[in-house]
A and B are shown apart, each in its own frame.
Chain A
Amino acid sequence: EAAVTQSPRSKVAVTGGKVTLSCHQTNNHDYMYWYRQDTGHGLRLIHYSYVADSTEKGDIPDGYKASRPSQENFSLILELASLSQTAVYFCASSGTAPNSDYTFGSGTRLLVI
């Protein structure tokens, strides 16, 4: 069954440390996305990618980098984690048509202390 798998499911990180969140999809989708969810803010787009080896900035990219080494894999990197980056992070994939719906991963709960 096609799916989007995120790892880890949860993580505790130290302020100033490096954090890498991973996402793997088996949907054969070209587009992948990283969203952040905070209480009261809904889902906000951090980075996205429409082809391997290329990433684009979303609406809130500051403090985050992304990497898309293959069609299936998309990582979100926090080089210097900060308290304000405590949130739940969702990866999603979609087809290329503008009316394509998203398939979401289960989310990664990140706590920065």
Chain B
Amino acid sequence: AQKVTQTQTSISVVEKTTVTMDCVYETRDSSYFLFWYKQTASGEIVFLIRQDSYKKENATVGHYSLNFQKPKSSIGLIITATQIEDSAVYFCAMSREDTNAYKVIFGKGTHLHVLP
């Protein structure tokens, strides 16, 4: 069964430091796609960054980057120079193929608290 697991339920860091959020996944697909989303305190969910499994280079967008370790089925999200407004819940997700479409399954989320 395909699965996405985030074991860290909550992380607290001091502003301007670097944080890594862990995510492991299970899949039998040879090609798959991994995503990270952010849910703010208002409830809004926004897409942050994506990693295509066939790409060896780690994706980077702004102060977000990924640590993709394919042999370990791991896709960590790294946030550098954290800011107070980075406080949110972060969801790891994986696209999987189904009968008529590709669907995304989500992990349970990691709540990041950035402290002044």
Contact = CB atoms under 8 A, between A and B. Distances in A.
A100 B102 CA distance: 9
Interface string A49-78: 010000010110000000000000000000
Contact of B43 (A50, A98, A107): A107
A101 B47 contact: yes
A97 to B, nearest CB: 8
Majority secondary structure, B binding face: strand
Interface in B23-41: 31, 33, 35, 37
Chain B contact patch, size range: 20 to 34
Contacts of A90: 45
B95 interface: yes
Interface residues of A, number: 26
Given A45-B103, A50-B101, A101 B50 contact: yes
Contacts of A43: 91, 106
Interface string B55-76: 0000000000000000000000
Given A31-B101, A56-B100, A58-B103, A98 B44 contact: no
Interface of B: 31, 33, 35, 37, 43-47, 50, 52, 91, 95, 97-109
Given A56-B100, A98-B95, 19 more contacts: A33-B103, A42-B107, A42-B109, A43-B91, A43-B106, A45-B105, A48-B103, A58-B103, A59-B105, A90-B45, A98-B33, A98-B97, A99-B52, A100-B102, A102-B47, A104-B45, A104-B46, A107-B44, A107-B45
Interface of A: 31, 33, 35, 40-45, 48, 50, 56, 58-59, 88, 90, 97-104, 106-107
A-B pairs with lowest CB-CB distance, top 8: A42-B108, A101-B47, A98-B102, A104-B45, A43-B106, A99-B33, A50-B101, A42-B106
